[in-house]
Amino acid sequence: MRALIQRVKEASVTVDGRVTGRIDTGFLVLVGFTHTDTQADCIRIAKKIGGLRIFSDENDKINLSLADVGGDILCVSQFTLYADCSHGNRPAFVDAMKPDEAETLYNYFCEQLSGYAHTEKGIFGADMKVSLLNDGPFTVMIE
């Protein structure tokens, strides 16, 4: 499981011209799953994200969490996090979990995230347009 977390001032996801998720201050989480991922991985990574301290405090030190700043989460499924570009110029996605299994884990992961902050999400498997105002930028990968 891979989660790419971007600290944002705002973010939204649109599908077919309709906004399906929108947040102000918080995290845009792009998440991808591989064949061996389980619900336990979702719990572990959601807990890590929920406690991640990457917001600045009053002394401009990176020390505050989502809860500390009243932030939200926008979670978007992204199987391309498992792109293998090691051979040729066309990425292979053999390490990405099959869509039906990944959708189940994605929904479970979003449920876990909602225990830490208000969580909005995209639509699994849809052609999504993601918009964000990166804050920093500050981007971290959790596996």
Active site members: 78-80
Q: From residue 123, how far is each of 60, 90, 142 by CA, in Å?
A: 36, 25, 22
What is the distance between the alpha carbons of residues 67 and 132, in angstroms, rounded to a whole number?
20
Determine the residue type at 48: K
Q: From residue 108, how far is each of 5, 24, 29, 40, 123 by CA, in Å?
A: 18, 23, 14, 10, 14
